[in-house]
Amino acid sequence: MADNNFKPFVPPGAQMKEFTLKSILLGCIFGIIFGAATVYLALKAGLTVSASIPIAVIAITLGRKFFNTTILENNIIQTTGSAGESIAAGVVFTLPGFLFLSDGGGAQFFNYFTILILAIFGGILGTLMMIPLRRSLIVKEHKTLPYPEGTACGDVLIAGEKGGDFARTAFYGLGFAFAYAIFQKILHVIAETPAYMTKQTSKFFPSAKISADITPEYMGVGYIIGPRIAGVLVAGGVLSWLALIPLLASLLPGEVIAAQLVKIGYLASLQTPGGQGNWDPVTHTFSDYSAAVYYAYVRQIGAGAVAAGGFITLLKTIPTIISSFKGSIGAIKDRKSDGGAPAGVVRTEKDLSLKVVLFGSIALVLLMAFLPQLPGDSIGKKMLVGLLVVVFGAFFVTVSSRIVGLIGSSNNPISGMTIATLMGTCLVFIAVGWTGKVYEPMALVVGGMICIAAANAGGTSQDLKSGYIVGATPMYQQLALFIGAIVSSVVIGLTVKFLDKPTAEMISKGITEHAIGSAYYPAPQGTLMATLAKGILSFNLDWQFVLVGVFLAIVMELCNINSLSFAVGAYLPLSTTLPIFIGGAIRGVVDHKNKKANKHTSAAEEELGKGNLFATGLVAGGAVAGVIIAVLAGFDSSAAVLAKLNMEGGLAGALGHGGYYVLGCAFFAFMGWYLYRTARKA
């Protein structure tokens, strides 16, 4: 039921600047910045955090001081900018899979224009399908669907209008992260990945490895997601790196591990040196057994666990899926019965016409059928792909929008939806006789676009909730989301392609073709999607390892542990999950201290707390700095300058590698202490 007593902050009859050129331009700038940062973070960690709140905080501050923006203009800024973050997540979680399809058959589609087209189409589809759902989900269920990020963002905008001075903490986090990045990634005073590994010859614990990428963005992510999820993530990493890898390293001879690496494409042949773990064909040994075992076996076990965890998460939301789909059909019927948007409708209830949804969907199908950049050898086949995209899109956009209303965008089971879409598409292909590696890229297109659409639909829902609270015009927000999707997609594709280009340092370590898929940018979800597409259509999956992961996820679920979080932790390197856990542990200590001091805060107040704002600054600052430095390292002239500034050799020579790692850990500990101190302030 609609909340008839609800009154937005800006009354429907108020005349105020809203959809202006400066608000759109500022929103596009933020979309570009946070879209690029999300690409970097998602490629490295396989995780993202919502950008709406930091964008709103920064927009309010800059808008009030320099651009004289209204609250409705600030809302348009954060709406336009947030599209970049959600689309970037969908792109990175799926499209790198083109690189890992059978015999490199999908690599030709991992080009800028294909990524750009799929990003734009997926982003537009996510917003398009939300137009008929807004009244049902945002207005009629205002009291029952809280949309936590959207509500918090609306509170930020209103607090900023009233003169709240909370943005300073986020800027402190940004500045701290930038300074830390200079010391770590340019001067190399701070080690990037301190590590300790036991010897393969150890009788008790061979090739067990503890490592951590001690970066600001990982600590910030850990603080934001909290101790529970961060703990489950690192538990998966502990199982993989301190249990499975030492066990397999002690049981399997080097030749067997190397043969498995050859089979899955990580090593050219048993006579060729190098590959993951640095194989030596003369001595038949690896210099890094933990890396060799991880890529040969544990990664596939982790992939099976992630697939099962995503599917289990989806199954658990079936009641929500059914009710939300029924509600969406009812909402569309209501819109048709009242003619869509009658002439006398108030400003805060004006949506784009349903004709935009209908003709926009038809245009997407036709464009997908005729554009040569998309996979498919005939218009008819590509037309079927387009129809599958629209059908799955309508369904999963509805599901995504309802779910984020209950549990927030950060907990949206997009991986499960994408896995279900990919498997459903592959089964449709098999039913019509389309099997083999030639159809793998087409299946990945469907999964990729649904992932992007579902991610953007979740973000769109939160934005529309913020707009409903502050009194925005929905039609202007929907137009802003379309613009933000197109503009940010231009830079998202460029960022993905640039980060995929190996730097001089990567080339020196044997990474010559693609940085994505290496230890630098693991792209866990993308490799998983490729693994599933190959396994179903080409019948070449190592099911014995995948099924171990499947039952590992089932065991976790039976223990009442979030199987998807655990599975992601088992799949990712421990170097990623360990620093995230440290950030989560700091949040746990802060929460415990506040509880002990009898301090109780609401969810909205927690979102605006100094700890959360400083942590979002760390994430944004660390990721943006990482992108900037990666771009500089990609050009020979600036890379030469960066090489001269590198102090790692001198420090490691003076302190020894152990001392150099301890120095880096001391800097990371200082950042953790400063985050704790900031979070404890009132």
**Contacting residues for 648 by C-beta, under 8 A, at least 6 apart:** 188, 191, 660
| Distance separating alpha carbons of residues 113 and 115, to the nearest angstrom | 5
Give tens-digit pLDDT for 563-602: 878 988 888 889 888 998 999 999 999 999 988 888 766 5
Instruction: Return the pLDDT at 341.
Output: 46
| Distance separating alpha carbons of residues 586 and 392, to the nearest angstrom | 40
Instruction: Return the pLDDT at 209.
Output: 92
Q: Residue 240: how many CA atoms within 13 Å on its side-chain side?
A: 37
| Distance separating alpha carbons of residues 455 and 434, to the nearest angstrom | 28
Instruction: Return the pLDDT at 1.
Output: 45
Characterize the bridge pairing of strands 209-211 and 195-197: antiparallel
Give tens-digit pLDDT for 493-515: 999 998 898 887 788 877 878 88
* Angle (CA) 79 171 229, round 5°: 70
| Distance separating alpha carbons of residues 467 and 83, to the nearest angstrom | 15
Instruction: Return the pLDDT at 43.
Output: 83
Q: Which residues of the chain have pLDDT under 50?
A: 1, 338-343
> Helix, strand, or coil here: 213?
coil
Residue 543 corresponds to which tokens in the numbers above?
């099911």
> Helix, strand, or coil here: 67?
helix
Instruction: Please say whether the beta carbons of 310 and 422 come within 8 A.
Output: no
Instruction: Return the pLDDT at 476.
Output: 95
Instruction: Please say whether the beta carbons of 86 and 455 come within 8 A.
Output: yes
pTM of the model: 0.75
Instruction: Return the pLDDT at 166.
Output: 60
- Size of the chain in residues: 682
Residue 443 corresponds to which tokens in the numbers above?
């299946």
Residue 36 corresponds to which tokens in the numbers above?
């690029």
Residue found by looking up tokens 């703990």 in the block: 231
- 577-601 burial: b if 16+ Cβ within 10 Å, else e: bbbbbbbbbbbbebbeebeeeeeee
**Contacting residues for 674 by C-beta, under 8 A, at least 6 apart:** 176
User: Where in the chain are the domains?
Assistant: 35-166+351-404+435-506
User: Which uninterrupted H or E stretch holds 209?
Assistant: strand 209-211
Phi/psi of residue 359, each to 5°?
-70, -30
| Distance separating alpha carbons of residues 413 and 311, to the nearest angstrom | 9
Instruction: Return the pLDDT at 601.
Output: 65
Q: What is the dihedral of CA 149, 358, 141, 345, to 10 degrees?
A: 110
Residue found by looking up tokens 């554009």 in the block: 371
Instruction: Return the pLDDT at 671.
Output: 95
Instruction: Please say whether the beta carbons of 439 and 430 come within 8 A.
Output: no
| Distance separating alpha carbons of residues 350 and 353, to the nearest angstrom | 9
Radius of gyration (Cα) for the chain, nearest Å? 25
User: Which uninterrupted H or E stretch holds 27?
Assistant: helix 21-45
